[in-house]
Amino acid sequence: MNGSSQTGGQARPMVEIVGMLDDGPDSLTGKALRIVEQAEVLVGGTRHLAFFPGHPAEKWPIRGPLGPLLERLDAETRRVVVLASGDPNFFGIAGTLASTLGRDRIRIHPNVSAMALAFARVRVPWDGAVLHSVHGRSMDGLVEVVRGAAKVGLFTDAQNSPAAVGRLLLAAGVTGYRAYVCEHLGGVQERVVETDLPGLLQQEWAPLNVLVLVRE
């Protein structure tokens, strides 16, 4: 894989996808930080871009439908860095960029996945766990994913929250799990709460979290 692609005689540099944690630049290796520093276009969620307020690059926030942003990325000839959470290749933006721009146009620099951090925080091995995401996705089929599994790791969001997941599972007769809500992993607001499925309905949860379920 070389460092650029060429269309219509004009070389285009690789799109670098850099994963980071909730403590921002402190979570990056020296190599990853240098890649970010060299960006001429910095792409990411508002939270990610806020970690680099003095960066001279043009900043493109990710919001709303991705179609227009992907078109801009495909045509861009400057050095682009896309900031993402954790491992961008695990239920992240890397797959979308690979399918749109082509795998030969992207380079992925993963960080520790929030899923790995969550299982580390609750001190449960995550080999053999069922890993799933309802972050920006439908919860259709989630009951079948969870039912009978010994360990489950779920990316959730503000709409498909731990409370919504608990409500769905209890309505389907799923019981017998300890639940761990791991919020803001790696950041100063990090919090891990242990409860059961009914307990998930009793609190408001931060949108940025991983839900771990362990059969009792």
Residue pLDDT, tens place only, 61-86? 998 788 999 999 999 999 999 999 99
Query: Measuring CA to CA, which residue among 8, 10, 9, 12 is closest to residue 104?
Result: 12
CATH of the domain at 54: 3.40.1010.10
**Beta bridge partner(s), residue 95:** none
**Residue 191 to residue 206: CA distance in whole angstroms:** 10
Structure pTM? 0.85
Count of domains forming the chain? 2
Higher pLDDT, 211 or 64: 211
pLDDT at 105 over 90: yes
Examine the domain organization and report whether 124 and 74 are in the same domain.
no
Examine the domain organization and report whether 108 and 8 are in the same domain.
yes
pLDDT at 184 over 50: yes
Q: Averaged over 195-210, what is the pLDDT?
A: 95
What's residue 30's pLDDT? 96
pLDDT at 5 over 80: no
What's residue 10's pLDDT? 58
What's residue 66's pLDDT? 87
CATH of the domain at 204: 3.30.950.10
Find where tokens 């498909």 sit.
Answer: 160
Find where tokens 């039912």 sit.
Answer: 147
Higher pLDDT, 214 or 2: 214
DSSP β-ladder status, 177-183 and 191-196: antiparallel
Examine the domain organization and report whether 103 and 19 are in the same domain.
yes
Examine the domain organization and report whether 119 and 108 are in the same domain.
no
What's residue 65's pLDDT? 83
Examine the domain organization and report whether 81 and 157 are in the same domain.
no
Q: Averaged over 107-124, what is the pLDDT?
A: 97
Examine the domain organization and report whether 74 and 125 are in the same domain.
no
Query: Measuring CA to CA, which residue among 166, 159, 152 is closest to residue 212?
Result: 152
What's residue 1's pLDDT? 39
**Beta bridge partner(s), residue 20:** 85
End position of a domain, from candidates 90, 112, 134: 112
Find where tokens 């799990």 sit.
Answer: 177
pLDDT in tens, 116-136: 999 999 999 999 999 999 998
pLDDT in tens, 7-66: 454 567 899 999 999 999 999 999 999 999 999 999 999 999 999 999 999 999 998 788
Q: Could you list the residue range(s) of the whole structural domain that residue 155 is in?
A: 115-215
What's residue 11's pLDDT? 65
Q: Are 165 and 200 in contact (CB under 8 A)?
A: yes
- As a whole number, the mean pLDDT across the chain is 93
